[in-house]
Amino acid sequence: MIEYKNFIYLDVYKTGSTHINFLLKKISTEKPVRIKRHAPLTKGRPFTWKGGKLVFATVRNPWDWYVSMWAYGHTVENPLYEHIKQGFGQEKLNELYEMDNPKVAFPKWLRSMHDPAFLAQALKGHRLPSSGLMGFMGFYTYRFMRVTMPYPEIFLRKPFINSLDGAVAAQKRWAMYDVLMKSETLDQEFAEFAAKNGKQLGFVDRAVEIINKQADKHKNVSKRTLESYRDYYTDELRDLVAKRDRFFIDLFGYTF
């Protein structure tokens, strides 16, 4: 979460959060009052929750999200890479992140991200392996819910959530955002958001102009070698994400 005086941004990992954070520094008249990157609102505000502030979040097509997460690869800002390295060693890491061979490496990585046994070893000591959710819930669904619902360390687990239908119902009831923007149309939606709410949120008068100007420079920093995220998928992998991350299909209408 990134909190300002009048609003809070729930910065879900790999949904355009770096771009939004950059823009907020450009268009906000005040500095953030609290920053807890990629964390739930209740981690920074455990008792007051929204406190009357407008809360917004960003979301991304789940198939595209996984490609971006993989292509981001071995960077100093990617803790998942380090977790896999610690859990399995350099040889396994090289196999999963063979960036010059995406048709082989990405399928191995994606299957691993949906393998409860793999995640239990890679994320040893983290809440996901002990949550009881890995049997039916995709990694992205878990990451998104962890940022957008209250007290995920308590409620993002069995017996509170027992199925994907239960996850969808929990999101509908407990989602902490008032506004949700899609990564695919982020610049347009954020400009419209600024035009409508900028004055009350403390944006500068030129906020929309600044957002539109930066839109031309906005690009995915992931190092992809294939033209489209669809090119990384076989029918089997497409269906794997559709099954385990159906959350995004049901709630936000995403399609492959």
First vs last C-alpha separation in the chain:
29
User: What is the count of structural domains for the chain?
Assistant: 2
Q: Is residue 122 part of a domain?
A: yes
For residue 136, is it within any domain? yes
pLDDT tens digits, 123-148: 998 999 999 999 999 999 999 999 99
* Domain identity same for 233 and 143: yes
- For residue 193, being part of any structural domain is answered with yes
- pLDDT value of residue 112: 97
Is the distance from CB of 84 to CB of 93 less than 8 angstroms?
Answer: yes
Distance separating alpha carbons of residues 82 and 87, to the nearest angstrom: 8
* Residue 171 included in any domain: no
Residues 233 and 208 placed together within one structural domain of the fold? no
- Has residue 40 been placed in a domain? yes
- Say if 66 falls within a structural domain: no
pLDDT digits (tens, 9 = 90+) for 209-222: 999 999 877 665 55
Q: What is the pLDDT of residue 144?
A: 98
Each residue's pLDDT tens digit, 152-189:
999 999 999 999 999 999 999 999 999 999 999 999 99
Same domain (yes/no): 182, 204: yes
Asked, for residue 220, whether it belongs to a domain, the answer is no
Range of the domain at 46: 2-60+176-215
- Residue 156 contacts residue 129 (beta carbons within 8 Å): no
Shared domain for 140 and 158, answered yes or no, is yes
204 C-beta neighbours (distance < 10 Å), count: 14
Same domain, 86 and 126: yes
Cα 93 to Cα 98, 99, 109, 222: the distances in Å are 8, 11, 9, 18
Q: What is the mean pLDDT of residues 196-203?
A: 97
**Whether 83 and 191 share a structural domain:** no
Q: What is the mean pLDDT of residues 5-26?
A: 96
For residues 234 and 124, state if they share a domain. yes
Sequence-separated (6 or more) residues with CB below 8 Å from residue 4: 24, 28, 30, 31, 32, 33, 201, 202
pLDDT reported for residue 215: 87
Q: What is the pLDDT of residue 222?
A: 59
* Pair 31, 114 in one domain: no
40, 123: one domain? no
Task: Quick: pLDDT tens for 41-86.
Answer: 999 999 999 999 999 999 999 999 999 999 987 676 678 989 999 9
Q: Are both 85 and 143 inside the same structural domain?
A: yes
- Torsion sign across C-alpha atoms 236, 143, 17, 109: negative
Q: Is residue 248 domain-shared with residue 149, that is, in the same domain?
A: yes
Instruction: Give pLDDT, residue 203.
Output: 98
Pair (129, 245) in one structural domain: yes
Residue 243 within any structural domain of the chain: yes
Instruction: Give residue 223's pLDDT band: very low, low, confident or very high (50, 70, 90).
Output: low
Backbone phi and psi for residue 8, each to the nearest 5 degrees, phi listed first: -135, 135
Structure tokens at 196: 């409508």
